[in-house]
Chains A and B, each alone.
Chain A
Amino acid sequence: MKFKVLFILALFICMLFLAGCGGNNAVSTNGEDDISNSDNNAVGNDSEESNNENNNGTTGENMAAEQTLLIAADQDPSGLDPHKVTAHSSIRITGKVYEGLLQFDDDMELAPQLAESWEQVDDTTYIFKLREGVKFHNGREMTAEDVKYSFDRIKDPETASIGASYFTSVEDIEILGDYEIQFHLSDAYAPFLSYIAHSSAAIVPQEVVEEHGDLNQEAVGTGPFVFEEMVPDTHVILSKNEDYYIEGQPKLDGLKYLTMIDESSRIAAVRTGQIHLTTVSPESVSLLEANVELEIINYYTLDYNYLGINTEREPFNDERVRQAISLAVDRNELINTVMGGDAQLTGPVPPSLGNWSIDVSQHEMYEHNIEKAKELLEEAGFGDGFEAEIGVPGTYRDRVADGQMIQQMLAQIGIDVTIVQLEWGDYIDAWNEGRYDMLTGRNGAGTDPDRSLNFFFHTEGSANVWGFSDEEFDELAEKGRFEVDQGTREQTYFDAQDRLLTQAPNLFLYNPQNYIVISKNVSDYMPLPHSSERFHDTYLSE
């Protein structure tokens, strides 16, 4: 019954499409067809063909004729090499073009992608069975050779890939067959699989790397969308991968990411229907909520805002001083003022990561107790308070605001804080060098608690710029890293988090939400905390 209706509907739309000269104008606003026609002929032609296919096919719901999703991105991508890029603006592009062996599903569980299945043979050996018949966008089939090449490239120091450190324990990669590959690790490295699912563990074709020297300007992967062109500060165009291995996906003919840095412009563009999708800041949400043409989707990210403390400096090397600061900072007040009330309390592992995070709301360090804070300062010998500097990155409103709020809060316990606003490049240097007593910032906690804990706070952790070194914490964090039993691993990480909150090298302020505004005709779109978006099933309805 349902099928019949759908079929008739599809037929109807198809007729409309054929009858109405190209049918583009009927649906889209005048801006849109201009874009796909004038900017890129490849997309334009593709879309007409595939419209036919779509409308004849079984997927035909009430799809609009024009199926190019227009997205306003708040930042221009910086390079496209999936093994090297760290900027979100780049990853959201490479994430559509490239794929890895595994991925995270909606519930942050591991799921197959290019690997059909995987098996852990023993503590240190993993075997992946690859999907057969997957083609790169240049038409060549992807095999185990490519997987080996990609991981060799990541591990090669010449590449300077950020993934190199994720796979240091990978000792040997052995090709067992065209569609079977085995990874041998030097130790029982528990986060291995979640790094396999990381966006930087993308499978790339060797011949493309060799032809272009690097992958910064070119992108050829196996993903649902094919890279067409990138014009700096203007747009990135992706078109549908017609040979995608999942039948009927993607439904869109293409994606166009328009770089629009200014938020007031993005809001105006989405309001006037010139774009379909964009991100906005929390303070703008209330302006758009009432708009019937638009829908706001929000979700908790894997990030958290923090106040980092240089634990090597006087008097911050005294844990009581840090605890006093933690007790003096009212995180709920920060959430209310800076995030418009729409963020959640967090520890080093944000709640959005699932089971790994502990409930911090009852933690003694979160109780906002000025008296206790003063007592602790007194004990530490700073009853009269002291002066301190907080560095804040001027580019980011929220982090500047965090700094201003914390300045007021710390004044209550006699700490006289000066805010030093830093230009972004300078801020990164200051972060690396530990130049200030405290810094406000935001961390991506990653998809595995190993990253949230070891990477940022282990004595040897490469992002531990706080000079924090605590034996008890180090032991717990290391234990978790090499603990294969899931339950024990969880408990170990709980203990590690608790220890970290008590030691307070950083104050974890809140886990913010992302707000995505989409126009009502965007259907079946789902943002994901770790990769920001999935457009496999998305389509534009009429």
Chain B
Amino acid sequence: MKEITDRLRKDKIGMAGLIGVLFIILLAFLAPVIAPYNPTEMFNQHRLERPSTQFWLGTDEFGRDILSRIIYGAQVSIMVGLIAVGIGATFGFIFGLLAGFFKGWVDNTIMRIMDVLFAFPDLLLALAIVAVLGPNLRNTMIAIGIVTIPVFTRLVRASVIAVKEMDFVLSAESIGIKTPRIILRHITPYILAPFLVQITLALSIAILAEAALSFLGLGIQPPHPSWGSMLSDARGYMELAPWIAIFPALFIILTIFCFNLLGDSLRDLLDPKLKS
């Protein structure tokens, strides 16, 4: 582990990604301290104002401060990302492990259910789940989480099966050591790289999915801001007041970019085949 952090420190691109991600997480945590205004407060006399010294990033159609909304929006967007991916990764891990261990009907049942989920286009599945549960922050996270389960399940299952076939596992088995314990111990290093990369990918997908759901009218509850809902609300004003759209878009891009940089670097670092 120490080796990894050491190597990450040397990887400038990866560091840049990490710093970016930390910056946004910090933004989310410190929102109440650093946001200049209440993100839902409407300044009636300042609707659709350009960026100024009073409102650094301008105001939206209700006269709300865009900077404050972006800072608070970081909370929502990061939370959607982390919790949704947390749900997907956790359940995916459990299902994948079970399917890989037990083979037979357990494997079959789990994988067929995953196939069913997988056969739906992502956005449609999320849409259907949100429509069933009702559009709000919690359900958006659940829906996006469910959508990401099958990918994680497949990933973990494949790794478990691969580890099971490895020589040392087979030999350990032959001398009577129980397989589950060995696999649990040895699967971690094997699965870490693809798993982490998948997590960074899924985080980006989650943030974008939230934006897409907002666009389709199934986003989080107003007046609370998320970057996705801010951007989709700003669509009608792109020409009249472009700053309403530009800033949330920039933050979405920045976040996803950093997640991707970090993911790429982690992948390079953790994959033993790429040591060079």
Contacts and interface: CB of A to CB of B under 8 A. Distances in A.
**Contact residues on B (Cβ < 8 Å of other chain), bracket:** 20 to 34
B218 A337 contact: no
Contacts of B42: 337, 405, 408
A337 B223 CA distance: 15
Nearest to A403: B222
Contact of A421 (B62, B221, B237): B221
A395 B239 CA distance: 22
Nearest to A281: B236
Given A264-B235, A337-B62, A405-B62, A419 B223 contact: yes
A426 B221 CA distance: 15
A423 interface: yes
B44 interface: yes
Given A337-B61, A337-B62, A404-B62, A423 B218 contact: yes
A404 B222 contact: yes
A425 B128 CA distance: 13
Interface in B177-235: 217-223, 233, 235
B145 interface: no
Interface stretch (A51-59, A238-246, A283-291, A449-457): A283-291
Nearest to A330: B44
Given A421-B221, A423-B218, A263 B44 contact: no
A170 B44 CA distance: 52
B131 interface: yes
Contact of A426 (B61, B63, B134, B219): B134
B236 A422 contact: no
B90 interface: no
A283 B42 CA distance: 18
Contacts of B138: none
Interface string A389-411: 00010110100110111011000
Contacts of A283: 61, 236-237, 240
A75 to B, nearest CB: 14
Contacts of B130: 423
Nearest to B42: A408
A43 B33 CA distance: 66
Contacts of A419: 221-223
Contacts of B61: 283, 337, 401
A152 B220 CA distance: 48
Given A392-B222, A403-B222, 20 more contacts: A264-B236, A281-B236, A283-B61, A284-B236, A287-B240, A336-B44, A337-B44, A337-B47, A337-B61, A394-B217, A394-B218, A397-B236, A418-B221, A420-B221, A421-B135, A422-B134, A422-B135, A423-B131, A423-B217, A423-B218
30 contacts: A281-B236, A283-B236, A283-B240, A284-B240, A286-B240, A337-B47, A337-B62, A394-B135, A394-B218, A394-B219, A395-B217, A397-B233, A397-B236, A404-B222, A405-B42, A408-B40, A408-B42, A419-B221, A419-B222, A419-B223, A420-B221, A421-B136, A421-B219, A421-B221, A423-B131, A423-B134, A423-B217, A423-B218, A425-B131, A426-B131
Interface of A: 263-264, 281, 283-284, 286-287, 333, 336-337, 392, 394-395, 397, 400-401, 403-405, 407-408, 418-426
Q: Can you list the 5 inter-chain pairs with the closest CB atoms, starting with the nearest?
A: A394-B217, A395-B217, A404-B223, A421-B221, A404-B222
